[in-house]
Structure 1
Amino acid sequence: MAIDDKTRTELEAATFRHLLQHLRSRTDVQNIDLMNLAGFCRNCLSNWLKEEADAKGLAMSKDESREAIYGMPYETWKEEFQGKATPEQLAAMAKVNPGH
């Protein structure tokens, strides 16, 4: 399928918004589980968003990028949804994502 750049960008943006909505609805899925399975998490997405904003000369704080991804302030999300990592999760994180 051949599509123009504008349409591709629109499709990618819509897909990204869908991904964010999915992650926001799946608060049961912890970031450490995402990291251990996929190698990225909500925080990674927020960091990538901030990096792209910075590259375009747009002012975006770390808190603003996290709120854009989480749909709420990060501290609120942590208080409401973040569980304590199990020893097994931490061990998997150390093995799969050393230094993260």
Structure 2
Amino acid sequence: MRFFFFRRHLRFVPDCPVRCGAVSDVVGKVKKKYESLGDSVLIVNLEKSHRGLGISLAGHKDRNRMAVFVCGINPNGAAFKTGGIEVGDEILEAGNWASSS
């Protein structure tokens, strides 16, 4: 299964390495959707391995704000090996799932 993470706190990657059919359409739509965040969005193409994604998640301390953050990364997991995802990053979307910011 392929996941796309969109996050704040880094930079926008204009030339995503994924360039095929429906996937590139999704990337284009997401870039447009979050263009107001400017250079703080990064797109990461992450393949789930038999060990999982290798990330731990936590919700926002304010329960009225629906947000999901990376609170840990397993050095043996797919997220660490792919690079780009850091503790403290907010996940805006993953696959067909979207977090409300």
Q: What TM-score does the superposition give when structure 2 sets the normalisation length? A: 0.26
Q: Per residue, is there more helix in 1 or in 2?
A: 1
- Kindly indicate whether structure 1 or structure 2 has the higher relative contact order, using CA contacts under 8 Å at least 6 residues apart: 2
